[in-house]
Structure 1
Amino acid sequence: MMKRIVSNALFNTSNGLFATRRRGKRHVVVLSQFYRPEPHKFPPGVAAAVAEAGHRVSVVTGYPNRPGGKLYSGYRQRFRFSEVIDGIVVHRVPLVVNHSRKALERVANFLTFSMSALSVTPAVLDADVVYAYATPATAAIPAQIWHKLFGIPYVLHVQDLWPESVTDSGMLGTGPVNRVAAAMLRFWLDRLYGNAAGLIAISPGMQRLLVERGYREDRCAVVYNWAAEHAITVKSGDSFSNNGLRLLYAGNLGRMQDLETVISAARRFDENTDFQLDIAGGGLLEDDLRAAAAGSSNTRFLGKLSLEDVGKRYLEADFQLVTLKDIPIFRTTVPSKLQSSLAAGVPVITTVQGDVADLITQYDAGIVAEPENAESLAQAFKTALNMSPTQRARMGANAQRLYAEKMSHASSTSKIVAMLDGVASRSAPRKTLEANASYAPTSHHDSGVKA
């Protein structure tokens, strides 16, 4: 269970004292727009790993509202609110709650968090290093300012490569506004990335792009994302279908996932009673996709499922689908559903080119098809349909080996902790205002949220 401690304590600037940075036990600030109880596993995973390494951790985040775009029950937005979750102090700051596709509303959501986070500055002045979860990239603005004003080094965890994640999303259209935004973002990103003491890329392709754009290779490391391992049960090798094919797609039903192509390819098997496609999740295109699959005898929509329920579906699937549209930036992307499938020992059928296709091919952990090509994807389905249970089980074992060797929680978080420790060690000693002791939680209650 997550323990919450609630406070409305105000800053007491009279307690501010000058102090040199400590050696040994460090203060690491985790800066992220998202945190528990929201279902974002990476910032909490890093915070827990840093704490387990013996360092002090504090979190600066917004009020929980994702994925539904509504403030969670039990929370009321206000400044200077702190709680303790799993032994870690979490400072929350207000933001415009919104998950719209409208550009201005999304920008307001991003920037209000960035500006509000600066109100926590007195609580982070003694930080040795800031870990900034740069999704969205604007969430790292406070780290940029703290570095400029107080010399606190920061490490960026780059999940989505900007400006492409903005300009290629369609959020700003394709005209002059998009081009102006791209130019402005590049100007700012050059400084955000360039001044970072470390960059964490989620794939080799992303690392190459960052280096090609002029950022120092010795400061840029590849750390693959990991799965929600607590919700995953490994599929038994003898549980693959003897007859037919059971496919699962579990994830966002959005514009970038190319699910129109998936449904079109599955339509070619309508007369095959041994073919089953299950689609789990929700998103902007759910209604359109349901309409496209109307009348199909082999496609089912399961709606939104919990992590635990998705884990159960993995045990029934022969392959998981990992698909994206054919956009260059996606060649450096590793969708999170890939890690979940691999960890469960379920091979994949993927249309994601670049790093994902290379990994799947290298480990023989699935089948690669061309993106936005229903004929190619249908051929991949046919290949999978004709495979024996033994062949599928071998691919499943390869998938699990790939995850264990490159993507496990323990492996990835240990790399991040080592990077943060290295950055803090290399940074020159500095004089800072001691973090305000009065910015602290004071009372307890149990959130009832599962860790």
Structure 2
Amino acid sequence: MRILAIYRHYWPDTTPYARILRLILERQRERGAEVCAYSGQPSYNGNQVGRQQWVETVGGVEIRRLAMFPEKKHWRVVRAINSLYFLLRAVAHATLRRRYDLVIANSHPPVAIGVALRLIRWLTGAQTILHVQDIHPEGLLEIGDLDNGAIYRMALAIERANRRGANALVTLSSDMADSLLAQGAGPDQIAIINNCPIASSPESGDARLPDCLTDRSATRFLFAGNLGRFQHLDPLIDAAHRLGERDDWRLIFMGSGAARLELEERAAGLIGERVFFLDQQSPEVAAAAMASCDYSVVSLAPGVRRYAFPSKTMTCLRAGSPLAVVVEPDSDLARIVAEHQLGLVSLGHQAEDIVEMLSEAIDRRHEFTANERLRIARTAEQLYGTERMLKEWDSLVDKIASRALDSSARAHTPPEHRAAA
């Protein structure tokens, strides 16, 4: 089988998905497939990895990189041009230069990547997998980044066609799967395969941790990840203000994102004393921070659980970190945390609900001993381990290959024989 993966930020770029996709592709190469990753030069968030070879083979996977314009996060026009150019070249590669049996793509950029997959399938007959990490445009409507107007309705119509046109839709939770079904995806299309934890060595980052993460005199809550609207972190800051009378806690934000400046302004009076903001760190430093802190905070805006699942959850758990979760109590994530005793879940998204959870977490800090944190790490491996994820991808690829063979056989069978069968 010849497999192509289309993703702008393939390894050694620093997106979490870059590492996950590398695992998936190298596994398929080990199973005998010819595998190619079509990507760009490392560029995510000002990546300092440096320029890589334009064509190279790593782990048996051929990597082909495309030259694009330099860009920064706020250069929206340049980013849009680069995304469109990358997709056009990827389609040309998959239709004119080579032919593939299976094409895999992450759902970024939203809507446009699905159109590219449909075009490749229409022109070549290749099987396609759309790896739905976030569900858009519905998720953007949920958090208010899109209005329910003509642009949204057009994007939704195109994306529905994209989903129907894929052979498989891989998503991350039953909540997300239900949303895809509600928007017209077929049950036989959907596979729930959660991402594995990001592989890293916490010990290698330990020496670089700031004092706010190593001060064991206080209960340390760490939010490590994107500081965006999906995460709905304003109520967490409001809750921190209400905890101001206590001095036995610290709330640390590690990362960057569209909401960071607003959060810093909202935390005025607490920054440097109770609340701390750290820049985005390497996966190794982030893993060390998760292993050091008392709780890892995971938060999703109301309703977003239907369109996203915070994959950083697995990395937190792999580090042995108990969770402090702000999400609907009936969500997939809350159920897993409660069922496996992985931490605490807020009863709601309001500041008073979060204050109650944080206060309980501070009081119960002593319960999460070294042995308990080891149990949490082992549970994470059982639920979300790398081998578990790869075996599920193996099964999906085999299933799609089998369908393709059956379809090809029927196409080459004379009508009278098909009727007799």
User: What range is the shorter-chain TM-score in?
Assistant: 0.7 to 0.9
Q: What are the residue-to-residue correspondences of 1:294-305 with 2, within 5 Å?
A: 294-296=268-270, 297-305=273-281
Of the three residues 380, 383, 402, the one matched with 1:425 is 402
Q: Secondary structure at the match of 1:64?
A: coil
Of the three residues 329, 332, 339, the one matched with 1:355 is 332
Shift of 1:398: 5.3
Greater Cα shift, 388-397 or 411-420: 388-397
From the superposition, tell whether residues 392 and 106 of structure 1 become closer, same or farther in structure 2 (CA, over 3 Å).
farther
Of the three residues 30, 55, 63, the one matched with 1:82 is 55
From the superposition, tell whether residues 363 and 56 of structure 1 become closer, same or farther in structure 2 (CA, over 3 Å).
same
Structure 2 unaligned spans of 5+: 204-213, 410-421
Between 1 and 2, higher relative CO (CA 8 Å, sep ≥ 6) is seen in: 1
Counterpart contact for 1:114–1:141, Cα < 8 Å: no
Counterpart contact for 1:241–1:389, Cα < 8 Å: no
Structure 1 residue 47 and structure 2 residue 25: aligned?
A: yes
Structure 1 residue 318 and structure 2 residue 294: aligned?
A: yes
Match of 2:211 in 1: none
Match of 1:200 in 2: 170
The superposition leaves residues 63-89 of structure 1 with CA deviations (integer Å, 9 ceiling, x where unpaired) of 322123x7964369xxxx423333321
From the superposition, tell whether residues 122 and 189 of structure 1 become closer, same or farther in structure 2 (CA, over 3 Å).
closer
Shift of 1:400: 2.7
Which TM-score applies when normalising by structure 1?
0.78
Q: Secondary structure at the match of 1:257?
A: coil
The superposition leaves residues 361-406 of structure 1 with CA deviations (integer Å, 9 ceiling, x where unpaired) of 2212111114541111111011011115235667645533442232
Q: Secondary structure at the match of 1:41?
A: helix
Shift of 1:105: 5.6
Match of 1:410 in 2: 387
Q: Letter of the 2:88 partner, please give it.
A: M
Match of 1:337 in 2: 312
Which TM-score applies when normalising by structure 2?
0.83
Match of 1:161 in 2: 135
**Normalized per residue, which structure has more helix?**
2
Match of 2:107 in 1: 134
CA distance in 1, matches of 2:74, 2:230: 13
CA distance in 1, matches of 2:350, 2:196: 29
CA distance in 2, matches of 1:195, 1:280: 39
Shift of 1:106: 5.3
Q: Letter of the 1:220 partner, please give it.
A: I
Q: Letter of the 2:106 partner, please give it.
A: Y
Match of 1:386 in 2: 363
Counterpart contact for 2:202–2:291, Cα < 8 Å: no
Q: What are the residue-to-residue correspondences of 1:5-404 with 2, within 5 Å?
A: 26-39=1-14, 40-68=18-46, 73-74=50-51, 81-95=54-68, 98=71, 100=73, 107-121=80-94, 125-137=98-110, 138-168=112-142, 170-172=144-146, 174=147, 179-232=149-202, 244-296=218-270, 297-326=273-302, 328-353=303-328, 354-370=331-347, 372-391=349-368, 396-397=373-374, 399-404=376-381
Q: Secondary structure at the match of 1:30?
A: strand
Shift of 1:109: 4.1
The superposition leaves residues 104-160 of structure 1 with CA deviations (integer Å, 9 ceiling, x where unpaired) of 665444323211212313576442211222223323433321210111111111111
Greater Cα shift, 84-93 or 44-53: 84-93
CA distance in 2, matches of 1:56, 1:282: 37
Match of 2:209 in 1: none
From the superposition, tell whether residues 152 and 201 of structure 1 become closer, same or farther in structure 2 (CA, over 3 Å).
same
The superposition leaves residues 28-87 of structure 1 with CA deviations (integer Å, 9 ceiling, x where unpaired) of 11122321121232221211221222322111123322123x7964369xxxx4233333
Counterpart contact for 1:164–1:329, Cα < 8 Å: no
Q: Secondary structure at the match of 2:158?
A: helix
Match of 1:16 in 2: none
Q: Please list every run of at least 4 consecutive aligned residues from structure 1 whose deviation after the TM superposition is greater than 6 angstroms.
A: 240-243
CA distance in 2, matches of 1:329, 1:97: 32
Q: Letter of the 1:139 partner, please give it.
A: I
Q: Secondary structure at the match of 1:182?
A: helix
May I ask how many residue pairs the two structures share in their alignment?
A: 391
From the superposition, tell whether residues 140 and 190 of structure 1 become closer, same or farther in structure 2 (CA, over 3 Å).
closer
CA distance in 2, matches of 1:266, 1:229: 32
Shift of 1:241: 9.7
From the superposition, tell whether residues 302 and 224 of structure 1 become closer, same or farther in structure 2 (CA, over 3 Å).
same
Q: Letter of the 1:83 partner, please give it.
A: E
CA distance in 2, matches of 1:87, 1:388: 46
